[in-house]
């Protein structure tokens, strides 16, 4: 979340909880608008413009209507990469800017996903998938304070949703397919922050927390062939709420001073997509997708079971807006066993200007470019490629920017 780390002696753990609720659509992988880059190497390398295409296990995310007709298969994907984030304010403390000197951070990551398709007959199939659409990891440390009230800060945290999906797809007629699925959402929060305070006296405040929760959302999709060249699609994800429950603790100079159970509700937003696929000839297909994600109801409200001096309740302060994403991509076949592909995606920010913060994520208008190749070897489909993204945003005199890349490697085995 773009939440400011407005720390105070009374609200440190609460603010930390909000910072740790850093749910981002692969924000670590430099997306923006909290839009996930998607699932499946081949699909992502085509810019994610694949909702109107046929596909394998990765379509449990893009459009379950495209699973029917796929061969029996199982696949895995891995994404190593790096990003650079710059925030002209660094970390906000107690509502003020420029408390520390550090204004940029480089970080590396590796993500993965996987799934399988099991045909039931020639016209229907089951799909399964595991992926992480919402996640963020923060590792920020700085002892160059610009504010005499603080001496140092060290915060490490991980937050995310792990999704397990099961989908059903059926070909209803030669032109029309439909699919629907259920996502089980497992939410995770873990983190620790140390803050050196120099006034009214020198001390170290430390907070730790951990929590988990479970929720559900549905996904449904349609696919229609207007003719031999043009296919249209529509997809809707209902969104869902994950009630994360866990324990928070506060320490002063190493001594435990307070503890409480807490509740935090993560709202996975609804998303709608319309798409089209144009088959120029037997070797070239071009796709385009347009999506909207309704982040308006996203909340940072936190409720402590036992409110105390430090562990107090956090009201909702976010005012996020709907984000949009445009995707464009192509795949060109060179023979029966080799193809190359490329794509472009653009998405708008979701975070309101008052909630942007370096400690969580810098949400900017984002441009992403991707390219890769696919090779068939016996029963294997192997895919590899690169994605690069960059964007910036200016609010008043403060500039935020995000830049990075990841490589993606996919391997699907046809049984």
> What is the DSSP track for 166-217?
EEEEEE-SSSEEEEEEEEEEEEEEEEEEEEEE-SSS-EEEEEEEEEEEEEEE
The secondary structure of 90-109 as a DSSP string is ---BTTBS--BS--EEEEEE
88, 400 contact by CB (below 8 A): yes
pLDDT of residue 19: 31
> What is the rounded distance in angstroms from the CA atom of residue 332 to the CA atom of residue 45?
12
Compute and round to an integer the Cα radius of gyration of the chain. 22
Choose between 84 and 337: higher pLDDT. 337
Strands (E), 198-337: 203-225, 230-237, 240-252, 255-268, 271-279, 284-293, 302-304, 323-333
Instruction: Find, among 216, 215, 192, 213, the residue nearest to 204 by Cα.
Output: 192
pLDDT category at 6 given cuts 50, 70, 90 is very low
> What is the rounded distance in angstroms from the CA atom of residue 193 to the CA atom of residue 208?
7
Alpha carbon separation from 206 to 5, 19, 258, 366, 396 (Å, rounded):
14, 14, 11, 35, 33
Residues 6+ away with beta carbon under 8 Å from 284: 330, 331, 332, 333
pLDDT category at 359 given cuts 50, 70, 90 is low
70, 40 contact by CB (below 8 A): no
Assign residue 257 a region: left if phi > 0, alpha if psi is -120 to 50, beta otherwise?
Answer: alpha
* Ramachandran angles phi, psi of 343, nearest 5°: -165, 165
Lowest model confidence (mean pLDDT) among 72-76, 83-87, 228-232? 83-87
Q: Classify domain 12-414 at the CATH superfamily level.
A: Outer membrane protein transport protein (OMPP1/FadL/TodX) (2.40.160.60)
> What is the rounded distance in angstroms from the CA atom of residue 279 to the CA atom of residue 109?
36
Locate 407 and state its tokens.
Answer: 């490589």
Query: What percent of the chain has a predicted confidence (pLDDT) above 70?
Result: 89
Assign residue 296 a region: left if phi > 0, alpha if psi is -120 to 50, beta otherwise?
Answer: alpha
Residue 41: strand, helix, or coil: helix
392, 412 contact by CB (below 8 A): no
pLDDT category at 22 given cuts 50, 70, 90 is very low
Which segment, 228-242, 311-325, 350-364, is predicted with the most confidence on average? Answer: 228-242
Q: Which residues pair with 330 in a beta bridge?
A: 286, 342
Element (H, E) at 298: none
pLDDT digits (tens, 9 = 90+) for 117-132: 999 999 999 999 999 8
Locate 77 and state its tokens.
Answer: 């994907």
pLDDT of residue 94: 63
Residues 6+ away with beta carbon under 8 Å from 401: 85, 86, 362, 364, 390, 391, 392, 393
Residue 27 has pLDDT above 50, yes or no: no
pTM over 0.75: yes
Residue 305 has pLDDT above 80, yes or no: yes
The average pLDDT across 94-123 equals 86
The average pLDDT across 390-396 equals 91
pLDDT of residue 177: 98
Instruction: Find, among 156, 149, 111, 158, the residue nearest to 130 by Cα.
Output: 111
């Amino acid at each position: 979340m773009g939440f400011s780390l407005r720390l105070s002696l009374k609200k440190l753990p609460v603010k930390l909880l909000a910072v740790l609720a850093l749910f981002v659509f692969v924000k670590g992988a430099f997306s923006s608008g909290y839009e996930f880059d998607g699932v499946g190497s081949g699909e992502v390398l085509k810019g994610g413009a694949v909702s109107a295409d046929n596909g394998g296990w990765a379509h449990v995310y893009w459009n379950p209507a495209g699973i029917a007709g796929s061969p029996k298969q199982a696949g895995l994907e891995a994404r190593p990469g790096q990003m650079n984030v710059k925030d002209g304010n660094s970390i906000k403390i107690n509502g003020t800017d420029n408390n520390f000197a550090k204004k940029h951070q480089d970080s590396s990551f590796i993500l993965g996903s996987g799934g399988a398709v099991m045909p039931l007959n020639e016209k229907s199939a089951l799909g399964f998938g595991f992926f992480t659409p919402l996640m963020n990891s923060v590792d920020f440390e700085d002892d160059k304070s610009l504010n005499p009230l603080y001496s140092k800060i060290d915060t490490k945290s991980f937050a995310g949703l792990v999704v397990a999906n099961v989908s059903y797809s059926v070909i209803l007629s030669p032109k029309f397919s439909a699919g629907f699925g259920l996502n089980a959402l497992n939410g995770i929060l873990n983190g620790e922050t140390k803050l050196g305070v120099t006034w009214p006296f020198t001390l170290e405040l430390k907070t730790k927390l951990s929590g988990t929760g479970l929720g559900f959302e549905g996904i449904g999709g349609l696919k229609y062939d207007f003719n031999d060249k043009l296919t249209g699609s529509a997809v809707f994800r209902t969104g869902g709420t994950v009630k994360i429950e866990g324990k928070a603790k506060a320490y002063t100079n190493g001594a435990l001073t307070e503890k409480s159970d807490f509740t935090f509700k993560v709202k996975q937003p609804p998303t709608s997509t319309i798409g089209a696929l144009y088959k120029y000839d037997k070797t070239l297909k071009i796709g385009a997708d347009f999506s909207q994600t309704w982040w308006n109801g996203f909340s940072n409200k936190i409720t402590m079971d036992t409110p105390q001096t430090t562990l107090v309740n956090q009201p909702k302060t976010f005012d996020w807006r709907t984000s949009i994403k445009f995707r464009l991509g192509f795949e060109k076949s060179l023979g029966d066993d080799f193809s190359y592909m490329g794509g472009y995606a653009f998405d708008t920010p979701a975070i309101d200007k008052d909630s942007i913060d370096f400690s969580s994520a810098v949400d900017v208008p984002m441009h992403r470019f991707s390219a890769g190749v696919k090779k068939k070897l016996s029963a294997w489909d192997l895919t590899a490629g690169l994605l690069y993204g960059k964007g910036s945003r200016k609010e008043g005199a403060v500039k935020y920017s995000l830049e990075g890349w990841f490589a993606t490697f996919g391997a699907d085995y046809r049984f």
